[in-house]
Amino acid sequence: MILLATIISFTLISITEKISQHTENTAEDVRRDYANSVIITGAWVYDNQDDMLFMMEFGAAGEPVARLDVKYVLTCTEPDGTFHYRSAALGDSQGGSPIYVWELGTDGPDTPGFTSVDNFQPGGRYFFTLDGGTQTSPGGAAGECGPPHLDTHGIDANLYIHIPNGMSTHQILSLSNGREIGSQII
């Protein structure tokens, strides 16, 4: 009888624990689905200087996000250990080339009267440009962390996108075909 009671007690405790873990996992899945999220779905060399073009997609759930509330951080480290970074709100070049943001399927920055998107909608897909360079030398000729710099030093860069009330995204930027315009960088 004691052995049977022990087995039944153990079984009940095990089932209760599994139900509790399943409930916690379900709650985390729901939270993740309703939090803001973004992923980088493509990246290319944009021009002959140090500009890059990215395509991003916002999660289908969540809430609209103001463009200037989205922050980016671009980093790279040279073989000698020199670390470069640039960080600002998306749409703020911090003194480098202008950053353009537009919705997929709409006119881009080379269209007269173009204005950048001000708000990102859940489920929306957008293009944005990003200038290489650093926080201390944003418009510098070296274009640190831009395609020519990555090509010259044979290094990769890191792009982080941070959105309010949501998760951050990290993407490694690695040149596929040198610094040729249109070459993929992820």
By three-state DSSP, how is residue 121 classified? coil
Judged on CB neighbours under 10 Å (0-12, 13-18, 19+), 75 is middle
Instruction: Please indicate, yes or no, whether residues 60 and 22 belong to a single structural domain of this protein.
Output: no
Higher pLDDT, 137 or 145: 145
Residue 52: which of 158, 169, 136 has the closest Cα?
158
Average pLDDT of the residues of the chain: 84
In a domain, 185, yes or no: no
Mean pLDDT of 30-56: 80
Q: What is the DSSP letter of 46?
A: -
Mean pLDDT of 63-75: 90
Pair of tokens at residue 142: 């070296």
Contact residues for 146 (Cβ-Cβ < 8 A; gap 6+): 49, 50, 51, 52, 131, 132, 133
**Percentage of the chain exceeding pLDDT 90:** 25
Question: What is the structure's pLDDT at 145?
Answer: 85
Task: Give the whole-angstrom CA distance, residue 153 versus residue 80.
Answer: 10
Residue 142: which of 72, 53, 78, 54 has the closest Cα?
78
Structural domain of 162: 36-173
Question: What is the structure's pLDDT at 29?
Answer: 62
Task: Give the whole-angstrom CA distance, residue 31 versus residue 25.
Answer: 10
What CATH number did the domain enclosing 91 receive? 2.60.40
Number of domains in the chain: 2
Question: What is the structure's pLDDT at 167?
Answer: 80
In a domain, 106, yes or no: yes
Is 124 a residue whose pLDDT tops 80? Answer: yes
Pair of tokens at residue 177: 């075909």
Instruction: Please indicate, yes or no, whether residues 44 and 119 belong to a single structural domain of this protein.
Output: yes
Question: What is the structure's pLDDT at 176?
Answer: 81
Is 166 a residue whose pLDDT tops 90? Answer: no
Mean pLDDT of 131-144: 67
Instruction: Please indicate, yes or no, whether residues 108 and 28 belong to a single structural domain of this protein.
Output: no
Is 28 a residue whose pLDDT tops 90? Answer: no
Is 136 a residue whose pLDDT tops 70? Answer: no
**Percentage of the chain exceeding pLDDT 70:** 87
pLDDT class of 34 with cuts at 50, 70, 90: low
Question: What is the structure's pLDDT at 102?
Answer: 93
Instruction: Please indicate, yes or no, whether residues 30 and 41 belong to a single structural domain of this protein.
Output: no
